[in-house]
Each structure stands twice: as C-alpha cells, then as structure tokens.
Amino acid sequence: MQKNMIIINANELVTCSGFRAKSGGEMSELHIIENGAVVIEDGIIESVGKTSAILKEYDEANYEVVDATNKAVLPGFVDPHTHFVFGGYRAEEFSWRLKGESYMEIMKRGGGILSSVKMTKEVTEEELYESGLNRLNSMLSFGVTTVEGKSGYGLDLVTEIKQLKTMKKLDKVHPIDIVSTFLGAHAVPKEYKGNEDAFIDYVIEEVLPIVVKEDLAEFCDIFCEKGVFSIEQSRKLLTKAKETGLKLKLHADEIVRLGGAELSAELGAISADHLLQASDEGLALMAKKGVVATLLPGTAFSLRAEYARGRYMIDNGLAVALATDLNPGSCFTESIPLIFALATLYMKLTTEEAINAFTINAAASVDRADTIGSIDVGKKGDIIVLEFPTYKFIPYHIGVSTVEKVIKSGELVFDKTRGGKI
C-alpha cells in the first residue's frame, strides 16, 4: 500500500538528480542536500529540500516520519541485469574453475547454462516461485527496489514461459519491481548444435509470439558470443523482437571481441551488457547512440577474468551502469556492496560514479530513468537509508551492506533495526 511519508534530518540527501542516464563527467555529480528532507505522498515524491524549509510547508503530523539524523539517504538501488529465476545450483562448477577449467570448457563438458536449463525444466513453477521469492528478499536487504530478471534457462516454449510467468507472479506480491526480459537465445540446445540458424527461427516463430501475446516481457536479449550466437543471428532475432514492440538488450563482447557493442548501437538497444572485450570503435558508437554500458564486475571476479574498462568508458563519454548478474553459474551473488567494491577498486570508478551507476544509470538501463533512480519530484518514493552519515561508507565497508531501511513507493518495507523485511 502506497503511503504518505516524510524523511527528515538526513545528514546527506544524495538525490542523484536527473531523468536520463548520466554520461562521462556527469557521473561524478550526486547533487547532495545537507540536512535534507523528502516528502512522499501516495507513493510519489512530492517535495525535496532542506529539512528546515520542508517543515515550514508540511506538517509532520500528517505523515509517517523517518528521522535520518546522522544517516545518508539515497535512491533505491536498481539491479539491471540478473538471472534470478532458475532451478538447481552449480556449486561443483565453481570448484572446476578453481582447478583451472574455463567457462567455455565447462560448457563443452555439459555444464554451464545447459546444466541450469536441465534443472529448471525439472522443477515446478511453485518451486521456481519460492526460490525466486527468497532471492528477492535477500536483494531487498541490500537496498534493491527494482530488478531486471531474465528467462533463458528453458530454451523451449514451455520452460521459457514458466520462468517469465513466475516473474510476473512475483512482481505482483513483492515490494521489488521486476522488469522481465526474454532471453530465449541464451545458449544452443543440444538438439540444435551445429544448426543454430534453425534454433533462432524456432525462437522467432514459436516462442517470441507467445511471449508478446501474453505480455510476459518488456525486453529481448541474446547471448551474442563466439560459439553461441553470431552477429547475424543476433541481429535477426533482435530485429524481429523490436518489430513486436520489445525493447532490446544484448550480452555483448563478454569473452571474445565479436562486435556486439557495434550491433547494440546499430539496433538502438537500451543497453549492452558485459563488454569485457568491446572495441574502442564499438564503445564510441554506443556513446554516440546513447546505449547504456551495463557492467558486471562480479562475473569477471568469479571467472577470474579481466574486468571491463569502466574507467575508459566513462572517460570517453559513455553512460555506465552496474549490475550483479546474479545467476547460478558464473556469478552466484546478489551482493550490491561486493559489486561496489569491485567497481571502485578494480574498474577504477569513483564512489560517486558507482552510486550513479547503480541508481539513475541502472534505471536508464531498464528504461525507467523517468520514474525511478533518483530522488526527484514526480518519481516513485523508492529510497534507502544507510546506517552511516555518508554514502562513502558503501564501498568502504567492503562486502557488507550498509542499508538500514528500504522504502518502496513511500512504504517502509525493510528495516534492519526491526529484524529485516516488514
């Protein structure tokens, strides 16, 4: 239920103000109000300013009051790239990687995505729902108020629909808003190995129309990678998806420099994700076309791979977003503070850039920058209160959540001081 709330006395009110992605030098701008206050009415931000000025206009007696004395207040985090609905786990693969096997080698021996596909097919929709609900509760504790979730562990009509319907059900009952993405071309099924073109045709002709007809996804994505789907195959599927009204995302240039960044600019994708091997030319085209570069340092960390060039991207005018890439194989974590630490320590983002990357730019990465991602009048009242007086504690307290309270559409939905989810 959306409520009326007033947050007062914030030591730092970090607004991240804006209604579009911040690029280049703009990513250093946090727009902080000292001793700040926020008024939320019917779930929407009504007023933002100094506490002294706000209390002259609004009577605290008419609102639920959150006193943020000696605390920092920020927009709720947006996690714009996850695979959080899946069956089974792949813990053994982690030990294989520790012994030196690569991600692609594990895929060739029957592990990887196809292993999760098998397990996801075997579980019921109810089991998917329960495990997905548990992961959402964990995300909420880290301050996430909106998350993108992908299908892709079905590779057939029945299981892809099962994943997407599960996300739709979870979206109706959980405080976190879920943005659904159809990733039907996440891997090549065994029966289509060597005949990838036929599988792309199957996805286009048999699965995509049902996804669109039943309104189960907002985006379409594809794993554009050597040994998975080519530039030509990716272009074909994404072009068809765009014609149906779906917006586009792209797993691009993660393992091999294939030209995914260039393709994302060509097709007008909202975001291109991973980008560890993206070319200078591809990144320049993304900057020119306004494609958000969504970076996933947790995956590089887990795979012991070279990190994406976050510093280079920002210095060359791109809008960079951050995401966890929560999935059962290459990056089994929903830890926002871990991603902050990796982005600042190893991709050389400043703390300010990382904050914008997980708020307003992450919102832009799911095409929501007009309604979430910053503390601006007219946007949803999605806000977090930290335990500490400054946002600088987020990467500094390495790997540990500094989030004390989470407010969703003006309602307190998580409070660490009261035991967690409310």
- Confidence band for 3, pLDDT divided at 50, 70 and 90: confident
Q: 240, 255, 251, 172: which is closest to 208 by C-alpha? A: 240
Residues 140, 169 contacting (CB under 8 angstroms):
no
Domain spans in the chain, listed from the N-terminal domain onward: 5-76+374-421, 78-365
- The share of the chain scoring above pLDDT 70, in percent, equals 100
d(Cα 172, Cα 83) in Å, to the nearest integer? 18
- Confidence band for 148, pLDDT divided at 50, 70 and 90: very high
In angstroms, the Cα distances linking 368 to 18, 194, 284, 362 are 12, 38, 23, 8
* Tens digit of each residue's pLDDT (9 = 90 or more) over 315-363: 999 999 999 999 999 999 999 999 999 999 999 999 999 999 999 999 9
| pLDDT value at residue 102 | 84
Average pLDDT, the chain: 97
| pLDDT value at residue 2 | 53
* Phi-psi map region of 70: left, alpha, beta (phi>0 left; psi -120 to 50 alpha): left
Place of tokens 């397990």: 119
Three-class secondary structure of residue 8 per DSSP: strand
Q: Which CATH class is domain 5-76+374-421?
A: mainly beta
Q: 140, 75, 182, 100: which is closest to 334 by C-alpha? A: 140
| pLDDT value at residue 101 | 87
CATH topology of 5-76+374-421 equal to that of 78-365?
no
- Model confidence at 104: pLDDT above 80: no
Phi–psi pair at 127, nearest 5 degrees: -65, -40
Residues 71, 404 contacting (CB under 8 angstroms):
yes
| pLDDT value at residue 109 | 76
- Model confidence at 49: pLDDT above 90: yes
d(Cα 117, Cα 189) in Å, to the nearest integer? 9
d(Cα 159, Cα 85) in Å, to the nearest integer? 11
| pLDDT value at residue 422 | 87
In angstroms, the Cα distances linking 283 to 108, 253, 315 are 30, 11, 11
| pLDDT value at residue 194 | 95
- Model confidence at 143: pLDDT above 80: yes
* Tens digit of each residue's pLDDT (9 = 90 or more) over 122-140: 999 999 999 999 999 999 9
pTM (two decimals): 0.97
Select from 3.20.20.140, 3.60.40.10, 3.40.50.720, 3.75.10.10 the CATH code of 78-365.
3.20.20.140
d(Cα 9, Cα 70) in Å, to the nearest integer? 8
- Confidence band for 233, pLDDT divided at 50, 70 and 90: very high
